[in-house]
Amino acid sequence: MTEIPLDAVAYQPPPPYASEKVDADVLGENERWPTAEEEQTWVRMADRIPTAAFLVIVTEFCERFTYYGASGIFNNYISNGYKVPGSSPGAINGGKQMATGLINFFQFFCYICPIFGAIVADQWLGKYKTILVFACIYLVGNLILTLTSIPASIRAGGALPGLVVSMIIIGLGTGGIKPNVSPMVAEQYTRTRPFVRRLKSGKEVLIDRDATIQSMFNWFYWSINLGSLSAIATSELEHNVDFWPAYLLPTLMFVVCIFVFWLGRNRYIRNPPTGSILLRAASCLATGVRQSRAAKRSGQQILNDAGVKVNWMEYAKPSNMINPPASPVAWDDSFVDELRRTLKACKVFIFYPVYWLCFGQITNTLISQAGEMNSGGVPNDIMQNIDPLFLIIFIPIFDKALYPGLRRCGLDFGPILRIFIGFVLAAIAMAYAAIVQHLVYSSGPYYDHPGSQHNDISAAIQIPAYALIAWSEIFASITGLEYAYTKAPQSMKSIVMSIFLFMNCGGAILAFCFNPISTDPYLVKNFAIAGGLMGVFAFLFYACFYKYDRKG
């Protein structure tokens, strides 16, 4: 936390501290409300992360340890044969296209299920119980994956059906956890007003909710990437022992995940289920379509004050319905206004599928690329861990040094600019990967048909691509999570988070379209087209939404 000297602004006698009894129910010891001038001129800093939020972050670390530890070795598990001399480890012998197709299916399923998970939490169980129930489902999927990867099962042909079944069950479990865990982190911080805290040194800092939420999501994302380093351990186990211990390790970690989450049961702030906002929103939108059509057919269209026909969503308001239903609807006029503002804010997510297409190359085509290069005896699928390593190093630097430093200089980068920078970095990463792939194909002895063999080129040349992707995540992915939470009205946060996560499905669908060129000798085209699309969409994104930063 950066300290602000008292003489940073023109001095005024401050209001008394909470210890002097202003509002003991809201302010803590050595805290006070800021003056108007302080609130306008002081740099806003992040508060400490609550213990309950920290426990949820640790839970996310354990879950991501399991997810990436298992999925990080899917490419080799699917592509290569079992115990083939001179080849990378494998089990199913399905080739690169099968590996890419199944991995894209897994990613698609993992990110379409959060819609269902959000509905269950909002309609019936609440976030805490939903996470706990779906974590148990997730564990069943891990057990199936582990048991079907033992040598006897692989030789009997059980690896492929076991993998598919476990992918579906793990995807369902992820769907119940993913849309609820990040909002639950933010919900543990309950302070809404800026306040001044006096530190032990006597200095004062202005604590702000938005800066705190941004910091919490940065550390939340940091925990994700720390957990993803589990793929290093599972890759080594896969390479040096076998697949079953490689899958057993993340399975055991998920038991720890459930225990850690349960441990905080009495600390969490739990918002009770109040009915699924997603179902209510879907019904509201459908009603708007029906009522606007009815108004058009009957010639009863509504005009605004300027004499212009109103937006079709206005007809979903109970006060504007042409043919009101027999029973009262489950929303009022203000709900429609909030939903409309929410969907307008969500327009920024339309460009994310192309970004997730680029990001997804880490878990399939870049691993295949590394398998065609000389890795010095290091498993090819261990290379993907360069990305989280960079994130673990740079997220604290961005959170504690870069962003506060920019704010002190008056350069508070808005979310749209940060997302744009992330998109550009992803485009550059794909362009670089295309160049690397060209160098792979230009190297002997196997040139553009290496199969599972290695050409004479070092895999270390891949490192800049992973670094660029990592930096793009800090700007685009973390900011997207932050934007999804902070820009949504309180009642609409589940909708915004579900839409943001659903964009990953769009990326997986685009990846299916790339499947024909996701194998040799077409990988240069694969990377080049992905990078070109991302570059075009990055500038389109900024041209469409740069004004959002000005609006705040």
Q: Residue 24: pLDDT above 60?
A: no
Q: Residue 312: pLDDT above 80?
A: yes
Q: Given this model, what pLDDT does residue 516 score? A: 87
**CA-CA distance, 362 to 135, in Å (whole number)?**
26
**CA-CA distance, 420 to 505, in Å (whole number)?**
21
- Tell me which residue range forms the domain holding 297: 277-331
Same domain, 420 and 303: no
Single pTM value for the model: 0.77
Residue 341: inside a domain, yes or no?
Answer: no
Task: State the average pLDDT over residues 301-309.
Answer: 83
pLDDT for 243-297, tens place per residue?
A: 999 999 999 999 999 999 999 999 999 988 878 888 899 999 999 999 999 998 9
3 state SS of 496 = helix
Q: Given this model, what pLDDT does residue 489 score? A: 75
Residue 494: inside a domain, yes or no?
Answer: yes
How many other CB atoms are there within 10 angstroms of residue 25's CB atom? 5
Please, are residues 27 and 18 in contact by the beta-carbon 8 Å criterion?
Answer: yes
pLDDT for 91-118, tens place per residue?
A: 999 988 898 889 889 988 988 888 888 8
| Residue type, position 197, single letter | R
**CA-CA distance, 310 to 315, in Å (whole number)?**
8
Q: Which CATH number do you get for residue 487?
A: 1.20.1250.20
Residue 495: inside a domain, yes or no?
Answer: yes
The region of weakest confidence among 2-16, 240-254, 301-315, 500-514 is 2-16
CA angle 328, 331, 337 (to 5 degrees): 140
How far from chain centre, in Å, is Cα 145?
A: 24
Please, are residues 408 and 487 in contact by the beta-carbon 8 Å criterion?
Answer: no
Q: How many CA atoms lie within 13 A of 408 on its CB side?
A: 14
Please, are residues 533 and 359 in contact by the beta-carbon 8 Å criterion?
Answer: no
Residue 506: inside a domain, yes or no?
Answer: yes
Tokens found for residue 107: 């990613």
Please, are residues 349 and 415 in contact by the beta-carbon 8 Å criterion?
Answer: no
Residue 336: inside a domain, yes or no?
Answer: no
DSSP 166-200: HHHHHHHHHHHHHHHHHHHHHHT----S-EEEE-T
Residue 459: inside a domain, yes or no?
Answer: yes
Residue 501: inside a domain, yes or no?
Answer: yes
Same domain, 453 and 316: no
Please, are residues 360 and 107 in contact by the beta-carbon 8 Å criterion?
Answer: yes
Same domain, 263 and 289: no
Task: State the average pLDDT over residues 209-228.
Answer: 86
Q: Residue 521: pLDDT above 50?
A: yes
Q: Residue 125: pLDDT above 60?
A: yes
pLDDT for 336-345, tens place per residue?
A: 998 988 888 7
Write out 281-349 in H/E/C secondary structure.
HHHHHHHHHHHHHHHHHHCCCCECCCCCECCHHHHHCCCCCCCCCCCCCCCCHHHHHHHHHHHHHHHHH
**CA-CA distance, 477 to 462, in Å (whole number)?**
21
Q: Residue 17: pLDDT above 50?
A: no
Buried b or exposed e, range 251-262, using 16+ CB within 10 angstroms: bebbebbbebbe
| Residue type, position 153, single letter | S
- Number of structural domains found in the chain: 3
Same domain, 298 and 154: no
**CA-CA distance, 496 to 132, in Å (whole number)?**
22
Q: What percentage of residues in the chain have a pLDDT greater than 90?
A: 44
3 state SS of 32 = strand
| Residue type, position 422, single letter | G
Please, are residues 426 and 534 in contact by the beta-carbon 8 Å criterion?
Answer: yes
**CA-CA distance, 351 to 423, in Å (whole number)?**
9
Cα end-to-end distance, the chain, whole Å: 24
Task: State the average pLDDT over residues 47-57.
Answer: 92
| Cis peptide bond prior to 445, omega within 30° of 0 | yes
Same domain, 184 and 266: yes
pLDDT for 191-205, tens place per residue?
A: 888 999 998 888 999
Task: State the average pLDDT over residues 157-184.
Answer: 93
Of the residues 297, 331, 365, the one at which a domain ends: 331
Using the structure block, give the residue that is written with the tokens 């049961």: 265
Same domain, 245 and 298: no
Same domain, 390 and 287: no
Q: Residue 541: which of 479, 495, 465 has the closest Cα?
A: 479
Same domain, 174 and 86: yes
Same domain, 531 and 386: yes
Residue 198 β-bridge partners: 204
Confidence label for 494 from pLDDT (cuts 50, 70 and 90): low
Q: Given this model, what pLDDT does residue 20 score? A: 42
Confidence label for 485 from pLDDT (cuts 50, 70 and 90): low
Please, are residues 175 and 110 in contact by the beta-carbon 8 Å criterion?
Answer: yes
Same domain, 22 and 76: yes
Tokens found for residue 386: 């360069």
Q: Residue 228: which of 399, 417, 445, 382 has the closest Cα?
A: 382
Same domain, 327 and 445: no
Residue 376: inside a domain, yes or no?
Answer: yes
Please, are residues 364 and 100 in contact by the beta-carbon 8 Å criterion?
Answer: yes
Please, are residues 357 and 366 in contact by the beta-carbon 8 Å criterion?
Answer: no
**CA-CA distance, 198 to 195, in Å (whole number)?**
10
Tokens found for residue 518: 């996701």
**CA-CA distance, 141 to 280, in Å (whole number)?**
32
Calculate the average pLDDT of the chain. Answer: 86
Same domain, 549 and 408: yes
**CA-CA distance, 298 to 289, in Å (whole number)?**
14
| Residue type, position 255, single letter | V
Q: Given this model, what pLDDT does residue 5 score? A: 30
3 state SS of 48 = coil
**CA-CA distance, 246 to 235, in Å (whole number)?**
7
